[in-house]
Amino acid sequence: MSQIASRIQSIKAELPAHVDLIAVSKFHPVPAILDAYDAGQRLFGENRVQELVDKAPQLPEDIKWHLIGTLQRNKVKYIVPFVHTIQSVDSPKLLDEIERQCERLGRATIDVLLQIHISGEESKHGFGIEELKDYLSSGAHKHLSHIRITGLMAMASLTEDEEQIRREFARMQALFTEIKAAHFAESETFRHLSIGMSDDYPIAIEYGATYVRVGTKIFGQREY
């Protein structure tokens, strides 16, 4: 068994049944991804549009690609043919562009998560909490026929302060519960909370994560 396969096996052994592992393969080559695929991994996360577009055609079609990095509106058209879920939707304008490109390219539906700006870091993207509530209250999302909003995503602060990470994850858990009750109570598909990465995913699981995004603990250090 390869190192990658054994790491995946040990991580999955820790995960509750309702939590899915996203193997974050950014900067890692196709053979490493195939190693993970051969170990049964099917959900992979990429940060950059170009990397996802380059890798996807070289790899098995049953991989479910998740875009987890910032997505510019002018790049949407490139990933629509390949991506399963866009976790990093951070504005109404981006939602509108995804809808437009799905229509144009004949894509029936794309799953998306709405990214929330939960940390105070300017480098992080996402909806503000009040901005998100206002958008959903307006009902504009109900007109998106090619988009299925399946949950929320956030990136916690880059810090070793576990209490701060716990506070941020707790806020996300509470927000998810509130948004689900207010706007998606009848939806069976609005069920995902994507929080937690290699260093903090066990904590994220305590706060209701259904997706954890793990790169270094699977693939080792990145190749630049």
What is the DSSP annotation of 105-124? HT---EEEEEEE--SS-TT-
**pLDDT of residue 153 exceeding 60:** yes
Q: For position 223, what pLDDT does the model report? A: 58
Q: What are the structural domain ranges in the chain?
A: 3-219
Per-residue pLDDT tens digits for 94-151: 999 999 999 999 999 999 999 999 987 676 789 999 999 999 999 999 999 999 999 9
CATH architecture of residue range(s) 3-219: Alpha-Beta Barrel (3.20)
Place of tokens 């997706």: 211
Is residue 220 a contact partner of residue 33, using CB atoms and an 8 Å limit? no
Q: Is the pLDDT of residue 203 over 90?
A: yes
Percent pLDDT > 70 in the chain is 97
Rounded-to-integer distance, Cα 166 and Cα 3, Å = 31
pLDDT value of position 119 = 80
Check: pTM over 0.85? Answer yes or no: yes
Which is more confident, 124 or 68? 68
